[in-house]
Amino acid sequence: MPKKTISKEKISITLNKDILELVETLLSDKKFRNRSHVIEYSLAKLLEEEKWEKI
């Protein structure tokens, strides 16, 4: 079965240094592939949580 390709858009963001340090900690723990993966995963979880709070 072919793998579903998800279209992604490249963006630029500015983060507080403390938040970036937390992102780097997650990367050093080898739980994520790169910064984009950490941020995408975290944002998806936040949006999922927000969705459930509105129900």
Per-residue pLDDT of the chain (55 residues; tens, 9 = 90+): 677 788 999 999 999 999 999 999 999 988 899 999 999 999 999 999 888 777 5
| Domain membership flag for residue 4 | no
Give exposure, 13-38, as e/b (b: 16+ Cβ within 10 Å): eeeeeeeeeebeebeeeeebeeeeeb
- Neighbouring CB atoms inside 10 A of 39's CB total 17
**pTM, full prediction:** 0.71
| Domain membership flag for residue 23 | yes
pLDDT of amino acid 5: 81
Domain count, the chain: 1
Residue 46 belongs to domain spanning: 17-53
Between helices 35-53 and 17-28, what is the axis angle to 10°?
110
| Domain membership flag for residue 11 | no
| Domain membership flag for residue 10 | no
Q: Which amino acid is at 30?
A: K
pLDDT of amino acid 1: 67
pLDDT of amino acid 19: 96
